[in-house]
Amino acid sequence: MRNRISCSAQKLSQLEPEMVESVVGGHVFKLGHQYMTENRVRILDAHEGQINSEVDGTYGVYSQTIRLKSGTLTTKCSCPASEQPFCRHCVAVLLKNFQSRAPEEVVVEPVPEPAKEIIKHAPEEESKAASSSSVDFKFHEIGAFVDWIQGAMEAIAKDKPLPNLPDLPPGAVRSWTEAIQDLRLQYQASEKERKEFQSELHDCKNHIATLTQDLEKSTGEAKDYKVKYAEIRNELDQCQAMLEEHAVIVKERDRFADQMNGLRGELLRKGAELDSLADSLKKVSSALQAATPPPR
């Protein structure tokens, strides 16, 4: 996670805990302070413009790079946290850096008496001139900022790149221009992401419309198949009924066949009896013929 914010401090060691808390809020500051007191912070390299460090997080070790340049504080951490404007790990590093860097000793040299008199009796005109010079310098910065912001507004209205930043010394006015430029870059990035999201959303809508058409077509085909299934089911029921009737007919046929076979056997038996009777009658007839005398 990487963030950039404007900062009034000129050195990282000037970022006092109260300043950090006012920026990140009480909850994130409390977590960062807890990490610092639990000795989770390891500062690998530090000077007034940049800190490289590591923090033992909840799910692993995260790396941080914190820079302060031209009134802009840039924080970068490898953690997945979404805390703004920077995470608890960077808070812990800033607190550790503030704690570990002892205040610089200020050497106060004695001022000679003559110099004191000169300072005491310096003409008021020189003081006014110095004040006027400082005011003119600030007005010059503000004038340059106004000229630049007018061009920036025209560029934003025409959706063109912002003009080059004016050549200003480090300070609040320069931090304003850099902050506006950063906001413009963030807006352009978010606008690009928005257009990509709209394009993806449009493609999703088209895909959903196609799927809806396919679903409606499949639903119609399913209804047709359901009607055909009912027709085939009806035909199958009719065929089942015909098979049952055929089975009854076959059973009746077998019964008649058995009866016919019985009648055939009875007829054969009766025929045999008739043949035997016919043979007996023939013998009787032959005997009668033999016993009857021939006519005279």
CA-CA-CA-CA dihedral for 135, 140, 142, 144, to nearest 10: -170
3-state secondary structure 218-268: HHHHHHHHHHHHHHHHHHHHHHHHHHHHHHHHHHHHHHHHHHHHHHHHHHH
The set of residues, in sequence order, having a beta carbon less than 8 Å from that of 175 and lying 6+ positions away, is 6, 7, 70, 71, 72
Neighbours of 283 (CB within 10 A): 10
Q: Which of 122-126, 167-171, 192-196 has the lowest mean pLDDT?
A: 122-126
Which CATH code fits 1-101?
A: 3.30.310
Nearest to 149 by CA among 122, 130, 168: 168
CA distances, 182 to each of 24, 195, 274 (Å): 19, 20, 132
Q: Say if residue 207 is exposed, middle or buried (CB neighbours under 10 Å; 0-12, 13-18, 19+).
A: exposed
The span from the CA of 280 to the CA of 277, in Å, is 5
Nearest to 259 by CA among 267, 271, 247, 270: 267
Q: Which of 68-72, 157-161, 252-256, 271-275 has the lowest mean pLDDT?
A: 157-161
pLDDT digit string, tens, across residues 174-200: 888 888 888 888 888 888 888 888 888
Does the structure show a pLDDT above 50 at 109? no
- Tokens 């805390």 label which residue? 83
Domain limits, the chain: 1-101
The span from the CA of 178 to the CA of 167, in Å, is 12
Percent above pLDDT 70 for the chain: 86
Please report the pLDDT score of residue 141 as a whole number: 78
Please report the pLDDT score of residue 260 as a whole number: 92
Please report the pLDDT score of residue 1 as a whole number: 66
Does the structure show a pLDDT above 50 at 21? yes
CB 101 within 8 A of CB 43: no
pLDDT digit string, tens, across residues 33-79: 999 999 999 999 998 899 999 999 888 899 999 999 888 999 999 99
Does the structure show a pLDDT above 50 at 140? yes
Interaxial angle between packed helices 88-100 and 17-24, expressed in degrees from 0 to 180 and rounded to the nearest 10: 170
Neighbours of 163 (CB within 10 A): 16
- Tokens 């033992």 label which residue? 56
